[in-house]
């Protein structure tokens, strides 16, 4: 039975890394003391070790230890044997490229469907959808495929931003870009605002956190889904 938290971000304004969601994580990982961290997205080009240290510092506050998947000779075995997994944010193109290169994408999907507790933030949330095509990231590297884990029946747009009334910015809004996606694709897209997350328990998928989510379905008017409501397509 799937047991997941798919979060928009690791850090909300004014708080430390994962601080806003630590109570949820203590519950998610209640049956394990060690979490396997996948640092492949490495934001800003930091090293895997540096990124793992950031995650380890946050999880130490709830009594958990962290090991990076890059520390293992066989990353697939590490994922298969993990009792809890966290994939951090950064660049989704880089993350997906590394998941395919190491073939971890297969073992990670199997682990999630086998019920291993999973946290994804930002890029780590993007990969939970059917494809990575609704990421906000620059294509700094070319992955073998845009197909991702498919653990939920829709795509994610993390860090979703609403248009600012009176702003003179002339570029595309998030909503415009997602509508462009729907000119060529029919997958639903869920825009998750900062401070919100999706809770997956088995086949139940529920929005949680501070804000509503923006829902985009092909050939339909976008609408809001309140926190606490189920996501059903």
Catalytic residues: 122, 137, 159
Quote the CA–CA distance of 161 and 194 in Å, as a whole number. Answer: 9
The strand pairing partners of 191, in sequence order, are: 157, 214
* 84 three-state secondary structure: coil
Residue 93: exposed, middle, or buried by beta-carbon count in 10 A (0-12, 13-18, 19+)?
buried
* 96 three-state secondary structure: helix
* Ramachandran category for residue 68: left, alpha or beta (phi over 0 → left; psi -120 to 50 → alpha): beta
For 128, residues 6+ apart whose C-beta sits below 8 A from its C-beta are: 4, 6, 120, 148, 149, 151, 152, 156
Element (H, E) at 178: helix 174-181
Residue keyed to tokens 């697939």: 76
Quote the CA–CA distance of 21 and 11 in Å, as a whole number. Answer: 9
For 226, residues 6+ apart whose C-beta sits below 8 A from its C-beta are: 207, 212
């Amino acid at each position: 039975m799937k047991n997941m938290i798919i979060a928009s971000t690791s850090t909300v304004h004014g708080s430390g890394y994962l601080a806003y969601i630590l109570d949820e994580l203590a519950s998610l990982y209640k049956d394990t003391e060690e979490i396997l961290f996948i640092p492949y997205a490495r934001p800003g080009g930091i090293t895997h070790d540096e990124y793992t240290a950031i995650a380890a510092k946050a999880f130490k506050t709830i009594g958990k230890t962290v090991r990076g998947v890059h520390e293992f000779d066989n990353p697939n075995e590490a994922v298969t044997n993990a009792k809890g997994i966290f994939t951090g944010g950064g660049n989704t193109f880089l993350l997906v490229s590394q998941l395919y290169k190491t073939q971890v994408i297969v073992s990670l999907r199997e682990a999630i469907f086998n019920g291993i507790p999973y946290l994804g933030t930002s890029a780590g949330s993007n990969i939970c959808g059917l494809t990575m095509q609704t990421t906000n990231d620059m294509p700094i590297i070319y992955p073998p495929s845009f197909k991702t884990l498919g653990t939920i029946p829709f795509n994610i747009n993390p860090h979703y931003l609403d248009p600012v009334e009176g702003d003179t910015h002339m570029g595309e809004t998030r909503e415009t870009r997602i509508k462009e996606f729907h000119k060529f694709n029919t997958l639903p897209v869920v825009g998750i605002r900062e401070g919100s997350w999706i809770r997956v328990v088995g086949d139940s998928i529920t929005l949680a956190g501070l804000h509503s989510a923006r829902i985009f379905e092909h050939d339909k008017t976008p609408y809001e889904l309140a926190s606490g409501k189920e996501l059903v397509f």
